[in-house]
Structure 1
Amino acid sequence: MQTFKKSIITLGLGLIVAVLSACGAVTGETESETVSIGVVGENNDVWDFVIEKLEREEGLTVELVRFTDYAQPNTALAQGEIDLNAFQHKLFLESFNEDSGTTLVPIGDTVIAPLGIYSDKLTDVDDLSENDTVAIPNDVTNGGRALLLLQTAGFITVDPEAGTTPTVSDITDNPLNLDIQELDAAQTARALQDVTASIINSGMAVDAGFVPTEDAIFLEPVNEQSDPYVNIIVAREEDADNEAYQKVVEAYQAEDTKEVIEETSKGSSVPAWD
C-alpha cells in the first residue's frame, strides 16, 4: 500500500511539473521565436544589420536561408520550408503566383535595385555595334525588364501591347541586329567574357564584384514607372499579419536601415517604402 501511495504522489508531482513547464511557469521564460528568410546571393549587409537590431531590440531571432537562383525561394516559402523571403520585385511575384497557383503576398516594400548593362569589352553603351551579342535573364519578368531597358537605351523597339513582360519575339525593330541571348539570371554576370554586354540584376552584379552606379555602362532609371520593380518581403497569405513578421518589416523600414542601404550599396539600391 505504501508503495502504491508513493507511486500516486510521484505521478501527481510529475503531472504538475509538466503542466507548469508547458505554461512557462517553472522558469518564467517562453520559447523564443525564430524567423527564417530566404534570400538570393551572398551580399546581405543590410539584412545582417536588421537581424542584429531585431535580436537586440525585440529578442527576435532571424536566420537567412541563402539560395543561388530565383527559382527556389518562392517554392520553399509556399511549401513551408521558410517563413519569409526577400529577393524579388512585385512583378516577379505576380508572375510566380499566376504560373504556380500560389497565393504568396507582399507584406513590405524594401528597395528598388536598378537593372544595369555591363561589359568587359566596352566602356560606353553607345559603342554597341552591329551583330554584337547581349545576354539577358531568361525569366519572363526580368527578361522583359531587360528588353525594356535596351529600348530605353535606344537599341531596340518592342511592341507596346506586350506591356511590362515583352519577349524577344515582341521586338519590332532591332537596327543593329543585336544577338540577344537568354540565360539564367545567375549566369548573366559569368557570361561577360563570352558576350559583348550583359544585362544583370543588381544583386547578381554586386555578388560579381560590381558597384552598379559605378560599373554599369547603362543603368535603369528610377521613376514613376519603377513600381513593378520594387523589391518586397513576402509571406504566405495566411501569415500576412503575423506579429513577428510585421516586426521584421518595421525593422527594415526604418531610418537607420535606410542609411545602411545607401552606405553599403553606394546608391545602387534605393529605399522604396516612403
Structure 2
Amino acid sequence: MRKNIKLTAAAAAALALSLGLTACGTASDPAAKAESGAKADPNKALVVAASPTPHADILAYVKDNLAQKAGLKLEVREFTDYVLPNTATQQGQVDANFFQHKPYLDDFNKKNKTTIVPVVNVHLEPLGLYSKKAKALSDITSGQTVAVPNDTTNEGRALKLLADNGLITLKDGAGSGAKLSDIEDAKGLKFKEIEAATLPRALGDVDAAVINGNYAIEADLEPAKDSLALEKAEGNPYANFLAVKEGNEKDARVEKLAKLLNSPEVKKFIEDKYAGSIVPAFGPTAK
C-alpha cells in the first residue's frame, strides 16, 4: 500500500501558513548551505513534493521497487496545486519536487524570487484539446468557447497548440508566454481562462478545453485516445523534471533519485502504464 502523504486543501493551507511563519536560510545564507547539498545526511529520507499523477505514481514505483537497493530512503508528499511544491522546496519543508517543466519554473522563479533549479528530465505530459461535444477538430467552430489554463506558461503553451492545429492565428513573435492578447485571429472563438487543475471539471461547461496531461489522466481521460489534438513529443521544451533549491544538486540522495528516475526500469514503467499518454523524456534539462 502506498504511504504517500497527500495534502488536502486544509492541510495545504496550514502548510502555506507555516511557510510564511518559518524563518529558513536562503541561497545566500552560509548556515543554510552548510546543512544542505553535498553535506546533507545521506541516511535521512529524501522528501519530495509531487503532483499525484503521474509524478507521485512514478516516485511510488521507484520507492517500492528501486530505492531500497540503491540505499535511498524516499518519502513522497502529494500536492494538488502548482505553487506550494516550489514554495515548500525553497523554504526547506521538502528536499525536492517533481511536477513542473522549465518554462513554468523560469516564470515562477522570476515572479517569486525563488532559486529552484532543475536536476534531470523524466517525462513529457502532452497538452491536449478535449471536448464532450465535439468529435473532431472540424467541429470546433465560430461562436464556441474554449477554456485554457490561466497560468502564464501553460496558457501560452495551450495557445500554441490551438495555433498549430489551425484553430487560431497568433501574432508573429508570440512565444511560449503568449497571452490572449497575442491572438491575431480568433476565428470567432471565445476563450475562458481557468485554473489548470479545475479544467477537467469545467469541460462540460465549455465547448472544448486545453488540459494538462496529468490533470487529464486524473480525470480518467486518455490523452492518446481522447484528445482532439495533442502536443508532439519531439523537440518539446516542456519535459517534467526533478528539481531542488539551488545548492542542493549535489545532495547524494538527490543524485541517487535522479539516476533511478532515468533508469530502464522507470522507462518501462512509464511506457507500460501510460501507453503513450505520457512519454519518457530522460536526460539533462534545458539551461
- Tell me the TM-score normalized by structure 2: 0.81
What residue in structure 1 maps to residue 148 of structure 2?
Answer: 136
Paired with 1:121 and 1:112, the residues of 2 have a C-alpha distance of 27
Determine the structure 2 residue equivalent to 1:257.
266
Farther-moved stretch of structure 1 (54-63 vs 165-174): 54-63
Which of 239, 243, 258 pairs up with 1:234? 243
- Kindly provide the amino acid, as one letter, of the partner of residue 233 in structure 1: L
Q: Which deviates more, 263-272 or 45-54?
A: 45-54
What is the deviation of 1:42? Answer: 4.6
- Change beyond 3 A, Cα 1:249–1:74: same
Deviation digits for residues 101-150 of structure 1, max 9, x if unmatched? 11111011111111000111111122101111111100000000000000
Q: Is the 1:45–1:264 Cα contact (8 Å) retained in structure 2?
A: no
1:32 partner SS: coil
- One-letter code aligned to 1:143: E
Aligned-partner Cα distance in 1 for 2:262–2:195: 31
On the 8 A contact 2:137/2:229 being kept in 1, the answer is yes
1: CA distance, partners of 2:257 / 2:224: 28
Corresponding position of 1:118: 130
Alignment match, 2:12: none
Once the two structures are TM-superposed, the CA of residue 59 in structure 1 deviates from its matched residue by 3.0
Q: SS state of the match for residue 250, structure 2? A: coil
Which amino acid in the other structure matches residue 242 of structure 2? I
Distance in 2 (CA, whole Å) between partners of 1:130 and 1:146 is 18
CA contact (8 A) 1:211 1:266 kept: no
In structure 2, the CA distance between the partners of 1:168 and 1:31, relative to structure 1 (3 Å rule), is closer
Q: Quick check: 189-198 or 264-273, which moved more?
A: 264-273
Which residue does the alignment assign to 1:41? 52
Give the conservation status (yes or no) of the 8 Å contact 1:159–1:166: no
Report the counterpart of residue 160 of structure 1 in structure 2. Answer: 172
CA contact (8 A) 1:54 1:248 kept: no
Q: Report sequence identity in percent.
A: 37
Give the total of aligned pairs. 242
Shift of 1:223: 2.1
Deviation at 1:252, TM superposition (A): 0.7
C-alpha distance after superposition, 1:242-266 (max 9, x if no partner): 1110100000101111000001111
Shift of 1:206: 0.5
Compute the RMSD of aligned alpha carbons: 1.5
- Which structure would you say has the larger Rg? 1
CA distance in 2, matches of 1:81, 1:56: 23
Give the letter aligned to residue 257 of structure 2: V
Candidates 70, 73, 97, aligned match of 2:82: 70
- 2:207 aligns with 196
- Secondary structure at 1:106's aligned position in 2? strand
Structure 2 partner of 1:5: none
Structure 1 residue runs without a partner (length 5+) = 1-29
**Which runs of structure 1 show a deviation greater than 6 angstroms over 4 or more consecutive aligned residues?**
none
Output the amino acid matched with 2:246.
E
Distance 2:282 2:77 in 1: 24
Helix, strand or coil at the partner of 2:92: coil
Return the alpha-carbon distance in structure 1 between the equivalents of residues 42 and 265 of structure 2: 29
State how far apart, in whole Å, the 2-side matches of 1:157 and 1:94 are.
26
Partner of 2:95: 83
Taking structure 1 as the reference length, what is the TM-score of the superposition? 0.85
Q: Report the Cα distance in structure 2 between the residues aligned to 1:110 and 1:71, rounded to whole angstroms.
A: 20
Alpha carbons of structure 1 residues 83 and 159: separation in structure 2 relative to 1, 3 Å: same
Letter in 2 for 1:203: N
Within the alignment, does 1:184 sit opposite 2:188 as a pair?
no
1:243 matched to 2:255? no
Runs of 5+ consecutive residues of structure 2 not aligned to the other structure: 1-40
Q: Is the 8 A contact 2:131 2:207 kept in 1?
A: yes
